[in-house]
Amino acid sequence: MTLFVGLDLGGTQVRAVVAEPAPSGRPRILGDATRATPTTGRPDDVIAELAAGARAALESAGRSLHDVAAVGCAAPGPLDPHRGIVHVAPNIPGFERVPLAESLASLLDGTPVFLDRDTVIAAIAEGMVGAAHGERDYVYVTVSTGVGGAIVSGGRMLRGATNTAGEIGHWPVGLEGPRCGCGSFGCVESFAGGRNLAQQFGSRDAGDVFRAARGGDERAKALVARSEAALAALAIGLVNGLNPSVIVVGGGITEHEPQHVLEPMRRGIRERALRVPAAVAQVVPAALGPDVGMVGAVLSAQERVAGRGSWFA
């Protein structure tokens, strides 16, 4: 039986799954392994951990690399999905200009490795077997530690001249505001990203901000209100500028605080977006939850091997 491996490179951990295609379209996960992302500053250590995670997932499924047709790998960007190179992964020390796909393939006995940005991978999953299934014009948004996304228009993934299209977390929604991690200011992420919310409140976790707001803390309430306004402005811009039929919203904050993410976006579209595109735009929660990256990585590898991945190439 032909299997596929999915890998997800995160700032704190790497996850690997081994899966088989299923008639329903959503791959069936047979093995799973999670390991800490090395913080040595040496890319080779991170790549070795990814490979070790893949082998561990295969071992847990009782399979080997001989059963694997291809590997799909989700990584933070910016990156080049065609050459398999990560230009820079801001949250992983020393991870710059890394030929990740080639290096990983060499550690996995030459198994083909397909690399893509984590938000693109999530958009592939939600488009093929999730909340945007059957849609040709949709945007995937994640609201979690940061804010990011990917755009599908006319049935094709928008890549842009440098493969960075979809970095909607850095869509400017304010003429002033806190400095963003990208070096600019007024970005959606600077207002609504979990890391920034926590830093602005002086806590370790964005959940503290929402709990404090519910408890009546005025400073927390102001930060949450500002986050909601930024997400509403983002949604309005997406609808007016891109005319999607669906905006799929995932990420940890969305899952735990939907009333502070989905509802403000819906309200903003209803009250302020252009009437014609607003009439068809739906804001819906992502369907695949924490498995979205793994499902997308597996599907990406599966489709590319079969020659059916041209729409997201």
CATH code, domain carrying 33:
3.30.420.40
Per the CB < 8 A criterion, the answer to whether 312 and 157 are in contact is yes
Clarify whether residues 282 and 139 are in a common domain: yes
Percent of the chain past pLDDT 90, that is, above it, reads 92
Q: Which residue has the tokens 């009782």?
A: 62
pTM (2 d.p.): 0.95
Does 231 map to a domain?
A: yes
Clarify whether residues 157 and 279 are in a common domain: yes
Our count of domains for the chain comes to: 2
CA distances from 74 to 19, 86, 294 (A): 15, 11, 8
Clarify whether residues 140 and 282 are in a common domain: yes
Residue-wise pLDDT for 211-234, tens only, equals 999 999 999 999 999 999 999 999
For residue 11, pLDDT over 90 is answered with no
Clarify whether residues 201 and 295 are in a common domain: no
For residue 156, pLDDT over 80 is answered with yes
Q: Read off the amino acid at residue 223.
A: L
Clarify whether residues 51 and 115 are in a common domain: yes
Clarify whether residues 12 and 35 are in a common domain: yes
Clarify whether residues 97 and 168 are in a common domain: no
Give me the mean pLDDT over the 138-147 stretch: 96
For residue 38, pLDDT over 90 is answered with yes
Does 227 map to a domain?
A: yes
Separation between Cα atoms, residue 10 and residue 48, nearest integer Å: 14
Separation between Cα atoms, residue 174 and residue 185, nearest integer Å: 8
- Residue 121, sorted as left (phi over 0), alpha (psi -120 to 50) or beta, turns out to be alpha
28-36: strand order across its sheet: 28-36, 13-20, 3-9, 68-75, 113-117
Q: Which domain holds residue 14?
A: 3-121+290-312
What 50-55 contacts at long range (C-beta under 8 Å, 24+ apart), as own/partner pairs, is 50/7, 50/9, 50/14, 50/16, 50/104, 51/104, 51/107, 51/108, 53/7, 53/14, 53/15, 53/16, 54/5, 54/7, 54/16, 54/18, 54/108
Does 276 map to a domain?
A: yes
Separation between Cα atoms, residue 245 and residue 267, nearest integer Å: 16
Clarify whether residues 150 and 98 are in a common domain: no
Q: Strand, coil or helix: what is 112? A: coil
* Residue 1, pLDDT score: 65
Per the CB < 8 A criterion, the answer to whether 150 and 256 are in contact is no
Does 160 map to a domain?
A: yes
Clarify whether residues 162 and 263 are in a common domain: yes
Clarify whether residues 280 and 297 are in a common domain: no
Does 35 map to a domain?
A: yes
Does 153 map to a domain?
A: yes
Clarify whether residues 85 and 211 are in a common domain: no
Does 129 map to a domain?
A: no
Does 127 map to a domain?
A: no
